[in-house]
Amino acid sequence: RPLRLPVECWQPIQGGTARAMDFMAKHGIRGLIGGGSAEGGAMHKVVLGWQEAHARRGEHIELGERLCFGFHFYLAKNREQGIREAAKYYEENMKMFGELRLVRALTDEQIEIMRDPKRAPNAKLPRIEDAIANGGFLCGSPEQVVEHLKSLERRYPGLDRVSVSLSVGVPKAVCLEQLEWFASEVMPEFAKAKVREPAMAN
């Protein structure tokens, strides 16, 4: 039997339709916003829609509450170095997930062009720089990543969880190094943050 009841259930929010979020709110399912849906203004629209879905049920929640924001990340001494090192992984990740329609920054035409090795180099595909500028990819020094996350904390007072991962194709050794670096220089800045815990089961 689970130690905590009710058991938390988390589900990715990809399309962000009102119907889907109404269903999640009705059943107490929490939402993960990440990947392509985190880029640009799309994330903010989903957060507002999420709050509205709960309001329709008579529940007032703060912006970001019952949500987890997901990001790809890459730490380096500075953003420029991070871009140089992470760009190839970002491109491989886009090739895989773009075909699955999980990269919102890609149009249907760009996805079609990506299938053709002759046309792909000139397709003007999204670059890692674009993803960083749109807030969907955390890149740079630990201080730069902390500042970005702190800005989200200020904008979304109900947010108490984020999830970070590395792009598909990052070698295991680099993954371990990146995660250890994130744990030692980014996470301590949020050590006093309070995470809402469900009640223990009787």
pLDDT per residue as tens digits for the range 125-176: 888 998 898 888 999 999 999 999 999 999 999 999 999 999 989 999 999 9
pLDDT per residue as tens digits for the range 34-64: 744 444 467 888 999 999 999 999 999 999 9
Residue 121 lies in a domain: yes
Residue 34 lies in a domain: yes
Residue 77 lies in a domain: yes
Residue 30 lies in a domain: yes
Residue 68 lies in a domain: yes
Kindly report the CATH number assigned to the domain that includes residue 76.
3.20.20.30
Number of structural domains (the chain) is 1
Element (H, E) at 138: strand 137-140
Q: Which domain holds residue 43?
A: 10-190
**CB-based contact 74:89 (threshold 8 Å):** yes
pLDDT > 70 fraction of the chain, expressed in percent and rounded: 92
pTM here?
0.84
Q: Is the pLDDT of residue 199 over 80?
A: no
**Widest pairwise Cα distance in the chain:** 63
What CA–CA distance (Å, rounded) separates 88 from 94?
10
Residue 4 lies in a domain: no
Residue 46 lies in a domain: yes
CA distances from 49 to 26, 101, 153 (A): 14, 21, 18
Residue 71 lies in a domain: yes
